[in-house]
Amino acid sequence: MQGQLEFHDSEVRSMALHNGTLTLTFSAAFVQADGAGAGYVQSLEIACTEANVDGPLADGVGRLSHGTLWVDGVTLLALPFPYTSPGPVRLELQFSNGTRLAMGAATLECRFTGDPKFVESFAC
């Protein structure tokens, strides 16, 4: 499925930094399907290489209220799928629990890890 991750209302299950790679595991990422007017929740992972994190990584779990991604200086309010960044990235995440994390990385790759579940349709 192609679409885009909308950070708001997505749920982060865990975040882990290992050997310079930050892995964000989403238990329920809200994905807007391309051209279908439908929304899905999907489990997925985002891996960021050569990552540095500003903020309490251990508190980076739960529902997101907002997120912004910059790729080579260009702002993306949603992340297209499938996706591998062409260059350096900066990601800022605001969690509903008040936690705010900012991270920079050399690359970012996003991949689905489960089957999509339909949640809404705006088609008439």
Cβ burial 14-37 (10 Å sphere, 16+ → b, else e): ebeeeeebbebbbbbbbbbbeeee
What does the pLDDT read at residue 1? 53
Question: 73 in helix, strand or coil?
Answer: coil
Residues of the chain where predicted confidence (pLDDT) is lower than 70: 1-2, 34-38, 114-124
State the DSSP code for 3.
Answer: E
Q: Write the single-letter amino acid at 41.
A: V
How many H-runs (helices) and E-runs (strands) does the chain carry?
0, 12
**Predicted pLDDT at 121:** 52
Structure tokens at 98: 């008040």
Tell me what pLDDT residue 63 has.
96
